[in-house]
C-alpha cells in the first residue's frame, strides 16, 4: 500500500523525550496520578470546558456518559452513519438505539426525521462527527432543548474541529473523545469526556473510578467500573495535545492538495466544511455524482487494487443499522427496513462517498499518484 488510511501516529524523538520527562516527575503511574490531573487541566483549558475526565477509551467515555443519563429502556437517537462502537455503548448502558437520517450531504441530523422518531421514552440525542466534520449546529441544539432531550456528542474523530459554537464535543451537554492510535490525539488507547455540568462531571467521574465518591471521600456510595487512564497514556496525551494544532495544519495541507488535484475531475465534489469553522482534516470526504459513473465503494475497490487503502474500502460505507447484531433494533413500526425509505439522505451519501486520508504518513507524491489513478478510473468508467 502506498497510501493506507490506517493511521500509525508518528512521535518525534523530542516528543518521546518530553513524555519521559513528565513520567519521571510523576508521583505514581495509576489513574490517580498527578499526571492525570495535569492532563485533565490541559484538556479543559484547550477545549474551554469546566470539566475534563480522562478515561481508558472512547467507548468507555460513551458508556460512562450514557449510563449517567439514561435508565434501562430509554431510547437514544443515533445517526444511520456512525461506527459500531457508538451503538455498543448505548446497548451496554441499557439504552435502545433509534437510528435517524442525516440532512442532505451532511452528518448533522435531519430534524424532520428526528421529530418522527421521538417517543416519550426518548432521552438522548447522540451526534457523531464522522471524519472530523461537524455533526451539530444551533438548530439541533434548539430542537433538543425544546423537547427536553439531552445531547451527547461522539466527537471521537473530531478533536480540534471548531466553529462559532465552540469546539465539536463542547456544544451539547457531554462530549466524548477517543485518543486511540487512529485519532488526532493519539495515546495508543484512551479517551476523555468534556462537560460544563458539575452534576454530570461528578457522576461520570465516580462511575469511571469504580464508584468512588469525592463528596464522601470513599467507595460504596455508588456503583462503577475501572475506566481510568494510566499516567503513561496521559503523559503521551499531554505532549500530543501540544502538537494538535500543528497536526491539523499538516493535514490541512494534504486535504488542500487532494482537492486541488481532484477538482477538475468530472464527477467529484467535496463535502462542505462549514464557513467560519475549522475542520480538523481527519479525512477528506469526496462525493461522486452521476458523471463519475460508479459508486464510492466501486472506486475504492479499484484504488485498493493499485495500492490505496481508503476508509471507504475498509468499512464498506455501511448504514449502521444493517449490521446483523442490530437487527432487533431495526424493525417495524419505526422502519420499513428499506434503507432508501428509512434513511434517504444517509443512503444516498453512503453510495457517493469516497473518504481519502490526510494524515502525516501520506506523502504529497503519493497524493499525486493516487489522484492520477482516480482521474483515470473515472475516465475509463
For the chain, the farthest-separated pair of C-alpha atoms sits apart, in whole angstroms, at 69
User: Per CB under 6 A, does 93 bind ligand PLP?
Assistant: no
CA distance 230 to 198: 23
Stretch that binds ligand PLP, among 24-32, 83-91, 270-278, 317-325 (CB under 6 A): 83-91
All 3 cell numbers of residue 241? 495535545
Give the residue with the Cβ less far from ligand PLP, 213 or 309: 309
Phi/psi of residue 213, nearest 5 degrees: -105, 120
Stretch that binds ligand PLP, among 134-142, 154-162, 252-260, 313-321 (CB under 6 A): 154-162
Q: Which residues, at least 6 apart from 191, have a Cβ–Cβ distance to it below 8 Å? A: 54, 55, 56, 57, 58, 59, 60, 61, 156, 176, 177, 178, 179, 180, 229
CB of 86 to ligand PLP, least distance (A): 5
Give the residue with the Cβ less far from ligand PLP, 108 or 257: 108
CB of 103 to ligand PLP, least distance (A): 18
User: Per CB under 6 A, does 346 bind ligand PLP?
Assistant: no
CB of 7 to ligand PLP, least distance (A): 11
User: Per CB under 6 A, does 59 bind ligand PLP?
Assistant: yes
CB of 85 to ligand PLP, least distance (A): 4
Which of 128, 235, 292, 346 is the binder for ligand PLP (CB under 6 A)?
Answer: 128
Stretch that binds ligand PLP, among 11-19, 26-34, 153-161, 226-234 (CB under 6 A): 153-161
CB of 161 to ligand PLP, least distance (A): 12
Which of 83, 91, 121, 165 is the binder for ligand PLP (CB under 6 A)?
Answer: 83
CB of 367 to ligand PLP, least distance (A): 23
User: Per CB under 6 A, does 228 bind ligand PLP?
Assistant: no
CA distance 252 to 150: 33
User: Per CB under 6 A, does 255 bind ligand PLP?
Assistant: no
All 3 cell numbers of residue 22? 513528565
Stretch that binds ligand PLP, among 52-60, 135-143, 235-243, 265-273 (CB under 6 A): 52-60
Residue facing ligand PLP at closest CB distance: 58
- Residues forming beta bridges with residue 177, ordered by sequence position: 192
CA distance 86 to 152: 11
**Number of residues near ligand PLP (by CB under 6 A):** 13
CB of 46 to ligand PLP, least distance (A): 19
Asked if 99 contacts 127 with a C-beta cutoff of 8 angstroms, the reply is no
Site string for ligand PLP, 155-184 (x = CB under 6 A): -xx--------------------x-x----
Give the residue with the Cβ less far from ligand PLP, 58 or 267: 58
| Nearest one of 167, 196, 250 to 49, comparing CA atoms | 196
CA distance 327 to 377: 36
User: Per CB under 6 A, does 154 bind ligand PLP?
Assistant: yes
Which residues of this protein are in contact with ligand PLP, per CB under 6 A? 57-59, 83, 85-86, 128, 154, 156-157, 178, 180, 191
Amino acid at each position: 500500500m502506498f497510501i493506507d488510511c490506517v493511521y500509525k501516529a508518528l512521535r518525534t524523538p523530542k516528543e518521546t523525550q518530553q513524555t519521559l520527562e513528565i513520567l519521571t516527575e510523576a508521583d505514581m503511574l495509576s489513574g490517580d496520578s498527578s499526571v492525570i490531573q495535569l492532563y485533565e487541566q490541559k484538556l479543559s483549558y484547550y477545549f474551554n470546558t469546566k470539566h475534563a475526565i480522562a478515561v481508558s477509551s472512547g467507548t468507555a467515555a460513551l458508556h460512562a456518559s450514557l449510563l449517567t443519563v439514561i435508565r434501562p429502556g430509554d431510547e437514544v437517537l443515533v445517526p444511520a452513519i456512525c461506527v459500531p462502537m457508538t451503538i455498543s455503548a448505548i446497548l451496554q448502558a441499557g439504552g435502545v438505539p433509534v437510528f435517524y437520517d442525516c440532512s442532505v450531504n451532511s452528518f448533522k441530523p435531519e430534524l424532520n426525521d428526528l421529530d418522527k422518531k421521538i417517543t416519550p421514552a426518548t432521552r438522548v440525542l447522540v451526534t457523531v462527527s464522522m471524519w472530523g466534520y461537524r455533526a451539530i449546529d444551533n438548530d439541533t441544539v434548539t430542537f433538543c432543548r425544546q423537547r427536553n432531550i439531552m445531547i451527547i456528542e461522539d466527537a471521537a474523530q473530531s478533536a480540534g474541529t471548531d466553529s462559532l459554537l465552540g469546539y465539536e464535543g463542547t456544544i451539547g451537554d457531554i462530549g466524548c473523545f477517543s485518543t486511540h492510535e487512529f485519532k488526532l490525539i493519539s495515546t495508543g488507547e484512551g479517551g476523555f469526556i468534556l462537560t460544563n455540568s458539575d452534576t454530570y462531571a461528578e457522576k461520570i467521574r465516580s462511575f469511571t473510578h469504580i464508584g468512588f465518591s469525592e463528596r464522601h471521600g470513599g467507595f460504596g456510595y455508588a456503583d462503577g467500573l475501572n475506566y481510568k487512564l494510566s499516567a503513561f497514556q496521559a503523559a503521551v496525551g499531554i505532549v500530543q495535545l501540544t502538537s494538535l494544532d500543528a497536526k491539523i495544519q499538516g493535514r490541512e495541507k494534504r486535504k488542500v492538495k487532494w482537492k486541488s488535484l481532484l477538482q477538475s475531475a468530472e464527477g467529484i465534489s467535496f463535502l462542505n466544511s462549514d464557513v467560519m469553522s475549522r475542520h480538523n482534516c481527519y479525512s477528506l470526504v469526496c462525493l461522486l455524482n452521476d458523471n463519475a459513473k460508479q459508486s464510492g465503494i466501486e472506486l475504492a475497490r479499484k484504488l485498493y487494487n493499485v495500492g490505496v487503502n481508503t476508509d471507504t474500502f475498509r468499512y464498506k460505507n455501511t448504514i449502521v443499522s444493517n449490521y446483523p447484531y442490530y437487527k432487533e433494533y431495526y424493525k417495524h413500526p419505526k422502519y420499513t427496513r428499506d434503507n432508501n425509505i428509512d434513511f434517504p439522505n444517509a443512503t444516498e451519501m453512503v453510495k457517493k462517498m469516497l473518504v481519502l486520508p490526510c494524515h502525516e504518513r501520506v506523502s504529497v507524491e503519493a497524493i499525486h499518484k493516487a489522484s492520477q489513478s482516480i482521474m483515470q478510473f473515472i475516465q475509463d468508467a
